[in-house]
């Protein structure tokens, strides 16, 4: 059994989750305890800085029990080339040692160099898919086939 933990600020992650849910994957979306700034400009500025210092957000309570799952998929937007700060919290909270871990990352450029470097270091052997703006990506279902 597989579960997706993901975060989405602008809906791209939600699009990914809706497709993975159809494949029978359980979905657990995380949300910030305190809302991020309303404007896209301030979100990018403050989120980008917070990601660069590997900040962990305080999240609303969420289910961390992984007993029924053998694979955990982590979904994150890319902020300043890195994981989004809510996902830093998830990676810190979950006990992923005995699980297969995969990543689905979504970004404006379709690239995620610093997040990938972190995955290679901390989760070696994990599979990673990076998707350029899922909401506008006509290839989305195909790109998710590898998961
Ligand atoms: C704070 C912030 C920083 C971002 N930094 C990058 C980046 O470094 N590289 C990139 O390609 N896209 C960057 N983006 C674009 C997002 O990764 C992209 O739009 C993603 O699909 C958003 O996912 P969401 O709609 O689920 O929140 C950034 C967006 C935000 C809000």
Which CATH number is associated with domain 2-146? 3.40.50.360
Task: Give distance in angstroms: CA of 16 to centre of ligand 1.
Answer: 14
69-95 tens-digit pLDDT: 999 999 999 999 999 999 999 999 999
118 — pLDDT class (breaks 50, 70, 90):
very high
- The per-residue pLDDT for 10 is 95
- The per-residue pLDDT for 124 is 95
Give domain limits for the chain: 2-146
Best probe residue, ligand 1, of 41, 103, 108 (max atoms within 8 Å of C-beta): 108
Q: How far apart are CA 130 and CA 82, in angstroms?
A: 12
- The per-residue pLDDT for 7 is 98
- The per-residue pLDDT for 3 is 98
Query: Shortest CA distance to 29 belongs to which of 14, 19, 15?
Result: 14
- The per-residue pLDDT for 100 is 97
């Amino acid at each position: 059994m597989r579960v997706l933990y993901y975060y989405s600020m602008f809906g791209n992650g939600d699009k990914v989750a809706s497709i993975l849910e159809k494949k029978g994957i359980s979905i657990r979306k995380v949300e910030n305890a305190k809302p991020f700034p309303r404007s896209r400009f301030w979100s990018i500025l403050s989120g980008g800085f917070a990601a660069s210092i590997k900040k962990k957000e305080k999240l609303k309570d969420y289910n961390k029990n992984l007993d029924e799952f053998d694979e955990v998929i982590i979904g994150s937007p890319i902020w300043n080339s890195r994981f989004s700060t809510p996902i830093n919290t998830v990676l810190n909270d979950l006990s992923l040692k005995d699980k297969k871990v995969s990543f689905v990352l979504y970004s404006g450029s379709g690239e995620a160099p610093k997040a990938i470097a972190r995955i290679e270091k901390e989760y070696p052997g994990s599979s990673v898919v990076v998707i350029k703006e899922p909401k506008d990506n006509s290839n989305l279902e195909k790109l998710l086939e590898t998961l």
